[in-house]
Amino acid sequence: MSRVAVLCGLGGALPATAVSNEELAEQLDTSDRWIRTRTGIGRRHVVAPGEATSDLAVAAGRDALASARRTGGEDAAGVDLVVLATSTPDRPCPATAPDVAHRLGLGTVPAFDVSAVCTGFVYALAAAASMITAGVAERALVIGADTFSTILDPADRTTRAIFGDGAGAVVLRAGGADEPGALLGFDLGSDGSGADLITVRAGGSRQRSTPGPPGDGDHFFTMDGRPVFTRAVLDMSRSSQALLDRIGWTPAEVDKVVAHQANIRILNAVGEQLGLEEKQIVANLDRVGNTVAASIPLALRDAAADGELRPGHRVLLTGFGGGLTWGSAALVWPALETG
Ligand code: UT7
């Protein structure tokens, strides 16, 4: 039987402070009505001053390792690989994953960051699963963590309405393809011709750090919402269908689609493209907004906690983000003990 990666632990973490639409409307020219009808978001969590991405990643990682331990016994939490998906690392250099592994007490395990913005978690899952399949690792902790509140323009009502901070994590172990939790396949892609649609212009090798502050708000995150919306629908639908064709599931046979939580209208449009019913689509963005690399694992955690996601369900994950990048993964949901 072929060796694959099997999901065996799930966790997440949100910063303590929640900001409601009404609170945002006190600071910016926006309204609860606009945000709810255009995005489906009701509130988002934001980090406190001094709180960094690694702090959320450590909390989510600890939660996922505890879930793996409760599900599979003491040995189940001993991982030999950490992959962290983030586009808001603590510092541009070095990667944040080694610090996270160290603070989780995981010793000298290999640890690296993956940068694919909102597709980061699916890319990180594929990287870790492939390393398990290749025999490079036995057990991996895969974390998606972002703190976009730290890079948003405080005056940009569009991005501030959408993005929230958070972290989600899963534990993978080596196992067989017929086990519940086995990752059955991936579809990944990118299109760098859209690199400017979602970007932070300054701070890299193109627009270098200068002794003074960067000009013109270039260190803030920017997004061209309309074309990104269109591509998100197109690429998540195409990627999902490509993966379903490969593994032999029809959209109707999928119990739950856990897509990147960017906008409820995007989720509904992907559902329409794939011919899904509303009950197949998982949505938690009303409570957390778009948490970037944390979005899919946090949606999994919330759906599992609510009993919406149950053992035996056929689950499709699909994400889209800056790069542009997109990716999908499929699995049969395992029996897990979570937080
Ligand atoms: O996570 C990675 C992928 N990201 C996404 O998938 C996000 C994709 N894009 C979107 O979700 C939507 O494009 C947005 C939510 C970002 C924007 O919604 P939209 O319906 O596409 O609005 P728009 O950008 O076309 O703007 C329509 C109007 C504009 O006003 P005018 O020019 O018509 O007067 C905006 O200035 O809505 C205005 N607007 C707002 N009004 C109140 C934009 N943001 C806000 C706001 N409150 N927060």
The residue among 158, 176, 194 that closes a domain is 176
Q: Is residue 208 part of a domain?
A: yes
Q: How confident is the model at residue 75 (pLDDT cuts 50, 70, 90)?
A: confident
C-alpha distance from residue 71 to each of 28, 75, 333, 334 (Å): 45, 10, 13, 10
- Answer yes or no: is the C-beta of 284 below 6 A from any ligand 1 atom: no
Give the pLDDT mean for 168-176: 97
C-alpha distance from residue 200 to each of 157, 195, 323, 333 (Å): 17, 10, 11, 36
260 is an active site residue: yes
Given a cut of 70, whether residue 294 has pLDDT beyond it is: yes
Length in residues, the chain: 339
118 is an active site residue: yes
Q: What are phi and psi of 289, to 5 degrees?
A: 70, -155
The residue among 112, 142, 176 that closes a domain is 176
Q: Is residue 213 part of a domain?
A: yes
Q: Is residue 11 part of a domain?
A: yes
Give pTM, 2 decimals: 0.97
Q: Is residue 339 part of a domain?
A: no
pLDDT tens, position by position, 235-260: 999 999 999 999 999 999 999 999 99
CA nearest to 81, candidates 60, 100, 55: 100
Domain that holds residue 14: 3-176
Report d(CA 14, CA 17) in Å as an integer.
8
Report d(CA 317, CA 328) in Å as an integer.
5
* Closest atom, ligand 1, to C-alpha of 290: 1
CATH of the domain at 105: 3.40.47.10
Tell me how far the alpha carbon of residue 193 lies from the centroid of ligand 1, in angstroms. 22
- Number of domains the chain is built from: 2
In terms of domains, do 296 and 314 share one?
Answer: yes
How much is the pLDDT for 13?
98
In terms of domains, do 157 and 198 share one?
Answer: no
In terms of domains, do 59 and 167 share one?
Answer: yes
Give the pLDDT mean for 161-181: 97
Q: Is residue 337 part of a domain?
A: no
The residue among 155, 176, 197 that closes a domain is 176
Give the pLDDT mean for 157-173: 98
Q: Is residue 299 part of a domain?
A: yes
In terms of domains, do 146 and 224 share one?
Answer: no
In terms of domains, do 89 and 110 share one?
Answer: yes
- Answer yes or no: is the C-beta of 116 below 6 A from any ligand 1 atom: no
In terms of domains, do 130 and 259 share one?
Answer: no
Q: Is residue 276 part of a domain?
A: yes
